[in-house]
Each structure stands twice: as structure tokens, then as C-alpha cells.
């Protein structure tokens, strides 16, 4: 799905100072490069973003400073590439003080100075000297933050699932596409497509090794829902901008459990199909190169973990999609029993097993048209590929489309929203790609 590479208009000099500009023209024209003096200094963020010169310092802000933002995005995401790239983290936004301060401590230890800290994403996006934002806010904020960041002309790294509301998805996607046309680089946080093993699995499928695919299944189970691990966090009303946390959701009294373990409440998180299934769907889209889903049914509920926490996110759920290529896809989660985990592509000549996405395997198992070319269980050849965050940082320099483009994000988000609407209504959903609508049948 890495389509529609961003065009990158020329950068007007900031404060009258010359700098290295890369002029990216339309794909129908020859690309031109204009070189000015190469200097190392902070970029001045303009309303229209563009490719950065190799010596320009990228100024990044983190929106959402929980474990995903602090650890996955910063500590284990971009900081390992600090020596090889030129960036700094200059601002943080999170409605909970503890998250801001813990993340700022990491910034201070790394850069020797504090980041600017805010409760609202709006303050970050208003900063002219922020070039790029990484968004790891709760699921129900993703479209709001993506749309606002795109309209502010920032480069963006945005977590999955891309949306929890279909109309909001359309608005955010359109804003992101417009920003991309002006040169913004947008990476969606479905990082599995950056793994060498998954890229190798894609090649196995494209080579026809397992034949025509007819079904793809994922069962990702556990003994207990993952949101229970977030209980017990000491959240006080004084430390939280509660209205900022609620965002566009209905107003309600402060509830420490709801901000501490928001994954467990359906109003904030629609469960493992959007959360975990988004990774699987994007992996499947990438490996098969398929189009948009045609239809979906989804059933589930809170069937096991009924207790004083009153969690409403389903702990037992299954979604099934049909794709125009003629295969069926199922994403299933049971948090009442951890057995039965699988992630397989079933084809006419064999089976691709991506249960271990670092080292996938394939075999002739079950293939009615197996031809003897596959002998035993074969490890998928690894195809070298920059990791997801390094890929994004690289694309800020060279203007290429990241591994998980906004179009790839839209594809998984549509599939997720089809499942959510089916779960909510108890009806089959159908996606009309031309009209960009999800209907129930």
C-alpha cells in the first residue's frame, strides 16, 4: 500500500537565512534538487512541510506520554537512532502530570535539558519550532490529533488503530492526504511491515509459493485481558486535565480507574480487534497486496471477566472479513483461555505460518495443489529493511513514502471500523469504496 508518494514544495528561507532545500516536484515531472548552504540548526516549522536537508536538526514533539509514547516511541523507537540522525525532542503533551514528568526525565537524561510540557496537544501544534509530532494518545484521540497535526503542517508518526469513528476517520484521512500533498511525511504505527521476516513473507506470497490464498486466520488469546495490568495506578484528580482526557466524548465525573485503565472501557477503546487486530490486518494487507475489504461480521462481548471494575471492552470477540481477491480473513481473541494462538495464511499449494513474525515459516501442509516444490518446513528468507522509526526518520530526509503510509493506515482503519459497526449493530457491514461508506445489511 506504499502509494501516492508525497510531493515536497520548496522551503522558503527562514529569517532570511539560506539552507539546504530539496525541491520535490510532481511524479510526472523530473525531480529537481536545489542546494543551498548546509547548516546545522533547528528547523523553523512552516505551514507546509518539506524534505529536510541531511544536516538540519529535526525538532520532534511527543503527544501522549504513556508507556507507548515514552517507551515505544522515544526510548526504544527513535533514541536508538540518535547517533546516526540529527533530531531532538523539544515538547511533550499529556493530560496526566505523571506521564509528562516521567517522559521529561528521559528527555533531560538524554539531551541535558527539559522539554516544554503541556496538557493539551493544541499547545504543541501551535509551536512554530516543532517540525514533527509522534502521536501515542488513547485510541479515541487518534483522528482528532492526526487531523489537527496535518492541518498544522507537521510531519507525523501516528499510532494504530487510526480511528474509532468512521466519519472522523474520513476527515482525518482527507486532512492527512492534503498535508502529504504539501510535503508532510506520515507514518502509521503498524510496524510489523518493517520487519525483515514479514517482508520476506510478502515475497513468498508474491512468488506464488503457497498458491492462491483462500483464508487467513489470527487467534491471539490470553488468560486475562491486557487492561487489567493498568489497574492500581495512582491517578489523582489534581494531577489530570480531565476534560482534555475526555476530548470529544460525553462529559462525566472524574474517574481514576477510567484514565488509568482506559483500555478496558468501550467508550475509549473498542477492544482487541481494533488494537491487536489492526496489526494483523495491516500485516495481511502488506503480505497479500490486497484491496479494501468488501464485508464483515463481528460478534463478542464481556463473557469471562465480569467483576467490580465494570469493564465494557469485549474480552471475547471474533471478526470475519471477505476480500475481493476471494479470501476470508478472521481475527479472534479470547481472554478466558490462552491456548489456540495462530497466525496463518492458507493457500492452494501450502501454508504460511507467521505465528512468529520474526521468523515465519511455510510448508506444503494442507495444500490440495501442492506440487512437491516445498520440502518440509522452510524458514522464510529475511529481507533487510530499516526499522519503522528509522524508516520514518529517513523519509523526513529523502521525501520517500514510509513503509506504513496514510493509505495503508486508512485501509486497516476501514476494516476495523467495519468490525466495530458490525459489533455495535449486530449486522453485517459492507464497504463501498467509491462512495467511501460503510452500510449495514
Q: How far apart are the two ends of the chain, measured CA to CA in Å?
A: 28
- Predicted confidence at residue 54, as pLDDT, reads 66
Distance (Å, whole) CA 404 – CA 157: 10
pLDDT single digits (tens) 278-299: 999 999 999 999 999 999 999 9
The yes-or-no verdict on residue 8 having pLDDT over 70 is no
Q: DSSP readout, 236-254?
A: -GGGB-HHHHHTTSPP---
Those residues whose C-beta lies under 8 Å from the C-beta of residue 79, and which sit 6 or more positions away, are: 110
**Do the Cβ atoms of 422 and 433 come closer than 8 Å?**
no
How sure is the predictor about 1, in pLDDT bands with cuts at 50, 70 and 90?
very low
Q: Which pLDDT does position 12 carry in this prediction?
A: 31
Q: Which residue has the higher pLDDT, 152 or 8?
A: 152
Counted residue by residue, the chain has a size of 441
Cell representation of residue 184:
508532510
Mean pLDDT, rounded, for 180-207? 98
Which phi and psi (to 5°) does residue 256 adopt?
-60, -35
- pLDDT per residue as tens digits for the range 18-57: 333 332 333 332 332 222 222 233 444 443 455 676 678 9
Does pLDDT of 404 surpass 80? yes
| pLDDT tens profile 106-131 | 999 999 999 999 999 999 999 999 99
H/E element, 18: none
pLDDT in tens, 69-93: 999 999 999 999 999 999 999 999 9
CA 431 to chain CA centroid, Å, is 21
Mean pLDDT on 294-308: 97
Whether the predicted pLDDT of 418 surpasses 80:
yes
The percentage of the chain sitting over the pLDDT mark of 70, rounded to a whole number, equals 88
Contacts of 306 (CB under 8 A, 6+ apart): none
Residue matched to cell numbers 481494533: 274
Rounded to whole angstroms, how far apart are CA atoms 239 and 18?
Answer: 44
pLDDT for residue 429: 98
Mean pLDDT across the stretch 137-166? 98
Residue 288: its H or E element: helix 272-288
- The predicted model gives 89-99 an average pLDDT of 98
Mean pLDDT, the chain, integer: 90
Least confident of 49-58, 176-185, 363-372, 407-416: 49-58
The region, left, alpha or beta by phi > 0 then psi within -120 to 50, assigned to residue 362 is beta
Residue 389: is its pLDDT beyond 60?
A: yes
Pairing of strands 316-322, 328-334: antiparallel
Q: Return the pLDDT at 52.
A: 72
**Cis peptide upstream of residue 97 (ω within 30 degrees of 0):** no
Instruction: Take residue 371 and report the three cell numbers written for it.
Output: 506440487
- How far apart are the C-alpha atoms of 169 and 413, rounded to whole Å? 8
Percent of the chain with pLDDT over 90: 87
What cell does 362 get? Answer: 511455510
Report the pLDDT averaged over residues 242-253. Answer: 97
Contact 352, 367 (CB under 8 A): no
Please enumerate in sequence order all residues whose Cβ is within 8 A of that of 106, keeping only pairs 6 or more positions apart, or say none.
70, 74, 75
Structural domains of the chain sorted by starting position, each given as residue range(s) with its CATH number in brackets: 195-384+414-440 (3.30.360.10)
Q: What is the DSSP string of 58-90?
A: EEEEEE--SHIIIIIIIIIIIGGGTTTS-EEEE
Candidate from 82-86, 214-218, 420-424 with smallest mean pLDDT: 82-86
Considering only CA atoms, which of 12, 145, 22, 74 is closest in space to residue 400?
A: 22
Rounded Cα gap, residues 153 and 49, in angstroms: 6
Strand-strand pairing, 295-301 and 316-322: antiparallel
The grid coordinates listed for 60 are 520532534
pTM of the model: 0.88
Closest CA to 302 of 249, 375, 225, 228: 225
> By C-alpha distance, which of 46, 110, 115, 55 is closest to 86?
55
Separation between Cα atoms, residue 340 and residue 335, nearest integer Å: 11
d(CA 376, CA 373): 10
What φ, ψ does residue 74 adopt, rounded to 5°? -95, -65
Looking at per-residue confidence, does 254 or 1 come out higher?
254
Q: Helix %, strand %, coil % for the chain, to 5?
A: 35, 20, 45
pLDDT of residue 56: 87
Amino acid at each position: 500500500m506504499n502509494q501516492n508518494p508525497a510531493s515536497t514544495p520548496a522551503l522558503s528561507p527562514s529569517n532570511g537565512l539560506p539552507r539546504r532545500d530539496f525541491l520535490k516536484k510532481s511524479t510526472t515531472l523530473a525531480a529537481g534538487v536545489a542546494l543551498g548552504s548546509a547548516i546545522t540548526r533547528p528547523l523553523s516549522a512552516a505551514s507546509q512541510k518539506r524534505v529536510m536537508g541531511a544536516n538540519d536538526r529535526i525538532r520532534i514533539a511527543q503527544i501522549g506520554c504513556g508507556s507507548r509514547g515514552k517507551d515505544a516511541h522515544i526510548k526504544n523507537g527513535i533514541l536508538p537512532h540518535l547517533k546516526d540522525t540529527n533530531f531532538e525532542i523539544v515538547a511533550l503533551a499529556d493530560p496526566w502530570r505523571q506521564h509528562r514528568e516521567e517522559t521529561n526525565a528521559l528527555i533531560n537524561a538524554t539531551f541535558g535539558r527539559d522539554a516544554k510540557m503541556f496538557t493539551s496537544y493544541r499547545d504543541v501544534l501551535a509551536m512554530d519550532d516543532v517540525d514533527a509530532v509522534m502521536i501515542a494518545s488513547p485510541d479515541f484521540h487518534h483522528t482528532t490529533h492526526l487531523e489537527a497535526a496535518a492541518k498544522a503542517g507537521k510531519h507525523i508518526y501516528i499510532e494504530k488503530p487510526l480511528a474509532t469513528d468512521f466519519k472522523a476517520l474520513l476527515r482525518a484521512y482527507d486532512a492527512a492526504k492534503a498535508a502529504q500533498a504539501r510535503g508532510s511525511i506520515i507514518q502509521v504505527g503498524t510496524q510489523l511491515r518493517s520487519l525483515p521476516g514479514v517482508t520476506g513473507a510478502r515475497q513468498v506470497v508474491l512468488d506464488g509459493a503457497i498458491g492462491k490464498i483462500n483464508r487467513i486466520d489470527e487467534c491471539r488469546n490470553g488468560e486475562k485481558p491486557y487492561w487489567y495490568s493498568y489497574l492500581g495506578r495512582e491517578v489523582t484528580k489534581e494531577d489530570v486535565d480531565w476534560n482534555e482526557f475526555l476530548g470529544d466524548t460525553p462529559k462525566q465525573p472524574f474517574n481514576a480507574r477510567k484514565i488509568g485503565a482506559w483500555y478496558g472501557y468501550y467508550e475509549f477503546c473498542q477492544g482487541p480487534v481494533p488494537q491487536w487486530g489492526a496489526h494483523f490486518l495491516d500485516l495481511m494487507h502488506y503480505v497479500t497486496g490486497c484491496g479494501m475489504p468488501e464485508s464483515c461480521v463481528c460478534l463478542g462481548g464481556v463473557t469471562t471477566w465480569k467483576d467490580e471494575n465494570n469493564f465494557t471492552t469485549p474480552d471475547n470477540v471474533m471478526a470475519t472479513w471477505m476480500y475481493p481477491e476471494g479470501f476470508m480473513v478472521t481475527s479472534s481473541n479470547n481472554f478466558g483461555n490462552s491456548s489456540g494462538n495462530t497466525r496463518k495464511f492458507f493457500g492452494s499449494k501450502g501454508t504460511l505460518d507467521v505465528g512468529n513474525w520474526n521468523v515465519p515459516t511455510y510448508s506444503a501442509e494442507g495444500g490440495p495443489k501442492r506440487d512437491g516444490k516445498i520440502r518440509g518446513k522452510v524458514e522464510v528468507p529475511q529481507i533487510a529493511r530499516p526499522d519503522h522509526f528509522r524508516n520514518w526518520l529517513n523519509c523526513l530526509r529523502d521525501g520517500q513514502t514510509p513503509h506504513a503510509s496514510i493509505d495503508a493506515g486508512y485501509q486497516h482503519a476501514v476494516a476495523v471500523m467495519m468490525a466495530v459497526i458490525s459489533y455495535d449493530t449486530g449486522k453485517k457491514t459492507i464497504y463501498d469504496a467509491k462512495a467511501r461508506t460503510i452500510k449495514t445489511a
